[in-house]
């Protein structure tokens, strides 16, 4: 699964958003079944990024929200309250907050 996520990241950097999304969609269900919520949050984040960069802002907003929800759920567990000290997860969380906030601002305008 990690290889597929890394491949999707590379596809996003190469601006091949459709293939990146397909790659991520292929690993979403197995990741959900395995209970790997941090990896799933990363998948939703990458799906959101691919959606946003391909012009689908509504889908991106939903996926950013999913990633934030997962990170918040993990963070609320006993012993995991400092999970966002990990720089990779903090960057994902901050980026999700940024884009969800931008979408909310546009909606309220």
For 1-24, how does the pLDDT look when each residue is reduced to its tens digit (9 = 90+)?
A: 789 999 999 999 999 999 999 999
Query: What is the DSSP track for 12-53?
Result: HHTT-HHHHHHHHHHHHHHHHHHT-HHHHHHHHHHHHHHHHH
> What pLDDT, in 10s, does the model give residues 23-73?
999 999 999 999 999 999 999 999 999 999 999 999 999 999 999 999 999
CATH of the domain at 56: 1.25.40.10
Q: In this structure, what token pair is assigned to residue 21? A: 């999304």
Residues 6+ apart with CB under 8 A from 39: 1, 2, 5, 31
Instruction: Report the length, in residues, of the chain.
Output: 109
Measured between alpha carbons, how far is 73 from 36 in angstroms, rounded to an integer? 12
pLDDT at 106: 59
Domains identified in the chain, total number: 1
> Domain residues for 52?
2-108
Output the pLDDT for position 37: 94
């Amino acid at each position: 699964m990690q290889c597929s996520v890394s491949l999707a990241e590379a596809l996003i950097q190469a601006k091949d958003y459709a293939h990146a999304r397909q790659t991520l969609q292929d690993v979403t269900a197995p990741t959900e079944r395995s209970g790997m919520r941090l990896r799933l949050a990363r998948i939703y984040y990458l799906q959101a990024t691919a959606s946003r960069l391909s012009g689908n802002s509504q889908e991106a907003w939903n996926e950013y929200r999913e990633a934030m929800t997962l990170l918040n759920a993990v963070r609320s567990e006993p012993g995991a309250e400092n999970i966002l000290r990990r720089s990779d997860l903090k960057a994902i969380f901050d980026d999700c907050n940024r884009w969800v906030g931008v979408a909310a601002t546009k909606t309220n305008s």
